[in-house]
Structure 1
């Protein structure tokens, strides 16, 4: 019996039809794509009624030895900064954008950080890293590591609890969050409670890429070529770099000792194989891991809150997961294979 091709959620289709006439051309270079995407961000958010909620914020720029400085923004769950002894959980999060675009100033990302801080009752530290191809690996993982170290070191003065840390990221930011978790295990082994990875890229070799899942009509061969180009401008010309653990966390020789993970994938996303393979590999290494595939959704449809029921449910699901940081963690038996 022939297998039916997965269909896009009708609510997602409706939003994409609405946004299509407003979208600029993608652009042939990273700089063009970045410029056009940045111009589309306020257009899209205005069209969908996405606006930042009130939240106290604070910005810092921190040095990264041997690499460009890293910028970060702290979000508190209320319009007032938390007291130093508040003991709130701290989520360090990295935005997505194919390593070449987006940032903490984008309306959509800024609005998301504010809402998650408020709804989960946590502090969010949103880290910014340099764009490729102007800056290449390993600068980005080192910048994210520096942001995480800053957040852990300053947790108490922010009103946070250094024993209730979490790492998160979406898409390319999920790659950097997972790499930061590995760096923490290898360098400091701070007590990170949770990894939250949304539609993450975790193997830059492309071995787990599933172009047939992609919701667009782009031919598979063309999609693979485009994906390889994005990765090459991030990693550089040596293909062996893609096998390094901090470039491809899924390829780390061992995943033992990493924080528990909750991973979200989308049915109509070429990256779904990365997240799902990572969840299996973590579980085999004895790391508690949960992976949820959202049916009928595309790589970016979680953006469409207020218009797509699945996007609203995903937000509530994520908030529920983040609120567990207020609780004492469950201790599971060692089942590593």
Structure 2
């Protein structure tokens, strides 16, 4: 039996067609115009999709980042009331997930309707506190400001966990797309700088190799491969600048770090029709070879952004349920798997 050719899920195609009809003007080419255009479409598409914004207790803070612009964050509690602070030594705090939005390092933010609604829903259904971090957008601000901002947000969350009603021993970190890149970078920074206990890194369609060495456009017919590669190159240039050596730095391309030992357990989601699927799946392999517990799930027929189409795409609903189930494990004691059968050095030969 011949192997079937990869195609986009019919539900994704239907929703994409509906949303494409709402695009009244072409996307500007300049970064600032593109950002404003995308923000306007976030409002239009959220209304068209009936995005529900749950009532939840939230609180905004600004964090000082030495040598870089300050970083903004928003705390989401699972209910309509802020949780009481915990005294030192007290137990019963909620898990805390530090999460970074995606947008190719150039667009989006925690005020976007889609991201804000998603944080509220995940906090409510998983029973966790979410600290959504905001980082400066390129090209006005470039690397290494963004990973340093995200590191400061993570440090703030860890240091303030008890005052938020959270448990500093039940920390998790996550992100999608460019936010997944920054989340993975922060796990490396934490290992190198502080060694705080992180229970989980949750990465959704992450961009982890900014040399674009793992970009895979095979089977993707919506946009020609040459155009995809050119767009990826433009985003990387806007974020990192022209020095190609920067692309290989571990906090820019976490997949290319020379050592992944000691990183937190990971759950990674990729999409078949996403050129970035190679990044996430290669990262799962290097983590496994380093002795890090890791699971990676590829969603067939899904695109880079279709995971956000809950209520309209069955696979997006399944992804949401899977993420919620994963986050709920933070309420439990972690499983100890012991040492892997092979030493990491032997596994990489």
If the TM-score is normalised by the length of the shorter chain, which range does it land in?
over 0.9
Separation (CA, whole Å) in 2 of partners of 1:309 and 1:89: 28
**Deviation (angstroms), 1:225:** 1.1
Partners of 1:262 and 1:169 in 2: how far apart?
11
Aligned residue for 2:268, secondary structure, equals strand
Give, in angstroms, the shift of residue 215 of structure 1. 5.4
Task: After TM superposition, list the pairs within 5 Å mapping 1:255-334 onto structure 2.
Answer: 255-334=260-339
Query: Does structure 1 residue 240 correspond to structure 2 residue 241?
Result: no
Q: How does 1:1-337 map to 2 (within 5 A)?
A: 3-23=3-23, 24-85=25-86, 86-214=92-220, 216=222, 218-335=223-340, 336=344, 337=347
Structure 2, gaps ≥5 residues long: 87-91
Question: Tell me, what secondary structure is at the counterpart of 1:265?
Answer: strand
TM-score (norm 1): 0.98
1:42-81 per-position Cα deviation (integer Å, ceiling 9, x unaligned): 1101100102101100000111000000000000000000
Give the length in aligned residue pairs.
336
- Residue of structure 1 equivalent to 2:89: none
| 1:2 CA drift (Å) | 6.1
The Cα offsets for residues 287-310 of structure 1, whole Å up to 9 and x where unpaired, read as: 000000001110001121111111
Once structures 1 and 2 are overlaid, which stretch shifts more, 182-191 or 31-40? 31-40
| Structure 1 unaligned spans of 5+ | none
SS of 2:226's equivalent in the other structure is helix
SS at match of 1:268: coil
1:3, distance to aligned residue in structure 2 (A): 4.4
Q: Please give the TM-score of this superposition, normalised by the length of structure 2.
A: 0.94
Task: Give the Cα separation in 2 of the matches to 1:43 and 1:215.
Answer: 26
CA RMSD across the alignment: 1.1
Contact 1:210/1:271 (8 A) holds in 2: yes
Residues 214 and 298 in structure 1, CA contact (< 8 A), matched pair in contact too: no
Partner SS state of residue 297, structure 1: coil
Q: Distance in 1 between matches of 2:125 and 2:196?
A: 26
